[in-house]
């Protein structure tokens, strides 16, 4: 009979990594969310070979103190919450303290960081490097301005079974690009850039004015969408909805241009999807899909984001209220559109 024993931390992390890290794109999401949580204003992403060879995320956020560097790589280590009450009203994108532990267990990871120097002290950066291990990382001096750079190389080099599930460089990059769009659409005030094999794919400046936000949307989703979109800006019953919805003239054959954010976090939610579908029911041809980029704001206490490790799902305390609000707001906006906008599908 086999006896029970505790998994080694490394194996436990590798197993947990299965929940958040399926491919390079998931790593981009986790690392950029960390950069955003660190208050960065500029995030630069470099990708080689679809992200399988290298992912590098560089930010100008508050950085990580030297003594915290090895800890950041261990499981259940986070600076973002300390009590259950914090979790109830969590405003950071991360809080589980799992991403870096998971990622470092299935790749070769280097983390370099510098915090703002104390008065009278010189600027000093520190670096940790791990190879698919559970920490025991040594910290050495490095050069880096205030902020953090994460380099993730050779994804799944030590888990060949997982590596087999990676697709071609091109497919993996397409996933990276898609996650990049979601992230860049989530924070207009932050500058983002993305390069693939040294080539600049996106370079986005911060956008505060409406017109600049529309430019960013056009850069990411194409000018056709924004030219054929209604601007939404509504507030009622403690809920807010802003963004753009495609006119019925801009319907799609697939649900490939649908971005819905709840308090800045991209989510996929059946209740939300249903409300939007209903709102379009009378104006879209059967089988056509609407395009939208929408931002819902709701009291953080009325929505639970800790439903799944990837946090792609949420649970609303009052789902009915959210559903009705979305439906009414969008239905009205679409009904106000002049009928000559409602012509044949284009894509």
Binding site for ligand ADP (CB under 6 A): 30, 34-35, 38, 59, 61-64, 72, 77-80, 94-101, 148
Q: Which does 14 bind (CB under 5 to 8 A by kind): ligand ADP, Mg ion, none?
A: none
Q: Which does 194 bind (CB under 5 to 8 A by kind): Mg ion, ligand ADP, none?
A: none
Degrees, nearest 5: CA angle 294-298-302: 135
**Region for residue 8 given its phi and psi (left: phi exceeds 0; alpha: psi -120 to 50; beta: otherwise):** beta
Q: Which does 59 bind (CB under 5 to 8 A by kind): Mg ion, ligand ADP, none?
A: ligand ADP
Q: Please report the DSSP string for 16-45 in residue order.
A: HHHHH-SSHHHHHHHHHHHHHHTT-SEEEE
Where helices occur in 75-229 by DSSP H, the ranges are 84-88, 99-105, 160-163, 169-186, 210-221, 223-227
Inter-residue contact 139 to 19 (CB < 8 Å)? no
Q: Which stretch binds Mg ion (CB under 5 A): 28-36, 181-189, 200-208, 300-308?
A: 28-36
Q: 232 in helix, strand or coil?
A: strand
Q: Any contact of residue 34 with Mg ion (CB under 5 A)?
A: yes
Residue 78 CA to residue 334 CA, distance in Å, equals 44
Minimum separation from the CB atom of position 280 to ligand ADP (A): 36
- Of 186 and 251, which has the nearer Cβ to Mg ion? 186
Minimum separation from the CB atom of position 124 to ligand ADP (A): 16
- Of 102 and 115, which has the nearer Cβ to Mg ion? 102
Q: Which does 96 bind (CB under 5 to 8 A by kind): ligand ADP, Mg ion, none?
A: ligand ADP
Degrees, nearest 5: CA angle 312-262-185: 85
Identify the residue among 63, 94, 246, 248 touching Mg ion (CB under 5 A). 94
Residue 300 CA to residue 279 CA, distance in Å, equals 25
- Of 94 and 132, which has the nearer Cβ to Mg ion? 94
- Of 38 and 185, which has the nearer Cβ to Mg ion? 38
Binding site for Mg ion (CB under 5 A): 34, 94, 99
């Amino acid at each position: 009979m086999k006896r029970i024993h505790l998994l080694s931390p490394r194996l436990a992390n590798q197993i947990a990594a299965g929940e958040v890290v399926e491919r390079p794109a998931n790593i981009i999401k986790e690392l950029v969310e960390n950069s955003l949580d660190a208050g960065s204003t500029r995030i630069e992403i470099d990708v080689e070979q679809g992200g399988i060879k290298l992912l590098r995320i560089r930010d100008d956020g508050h950085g990580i103190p030297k003594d915290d560097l090895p800890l950041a790589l261990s499981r259940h280590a986070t600076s973002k919450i300390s009590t259950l009450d914090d979790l109830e009203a969590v405003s950071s994108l991360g809080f589980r303290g799992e991403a870096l532990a998971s990622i470092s267990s299935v790749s070769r990871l280097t983390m370099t960081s510098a915090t703002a120097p104390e008065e009278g002290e010189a600027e000093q950066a520190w670096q940790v490097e791990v190879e698919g291990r559970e920490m025991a990382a040594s910290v050495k001096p490095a050069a880096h301005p205030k902020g953090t750079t994460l380099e993730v190389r050779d994804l799944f080099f030590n888990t060949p079974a997982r590596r087999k599930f990676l697709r071609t460089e091109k497919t993996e990059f397409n996933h990276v690009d898609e996650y990049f769009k979601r992230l860049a659409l989530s924070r207009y005030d932050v500058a983002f850039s993305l390069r693939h094999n040294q080539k600049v794919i996106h370079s986005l400046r911060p956008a505060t004015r409406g017109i600049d936000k529309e430019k960013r949307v056009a850069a990411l989703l194409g000018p056709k969408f924004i030219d054929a979109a209604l601007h939404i800006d509504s507030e009622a019953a403690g809920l807010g909805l802003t963004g753009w919805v495609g006119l019925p003239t801009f319907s799609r054959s697939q649900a490939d241009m649908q971005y819905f954010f709840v308090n800045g976090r991209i989510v996929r939610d059946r209740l939300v999807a249903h409300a939007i579908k209903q709102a379009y029911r009378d104006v879209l041809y059967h089988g056509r899909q609407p395009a939208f980029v929408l931002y819902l704001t709701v009291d953080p206490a009325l929505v639970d984001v800790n439903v799944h490790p990837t946090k792609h799902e949420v649970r609303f305390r009052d789902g009915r209220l959210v559903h009705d609000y979305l439906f009414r707001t969008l239905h009205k906006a679409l009904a106000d559109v002049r009928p000559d906008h409602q012509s044949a599908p284009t894509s």
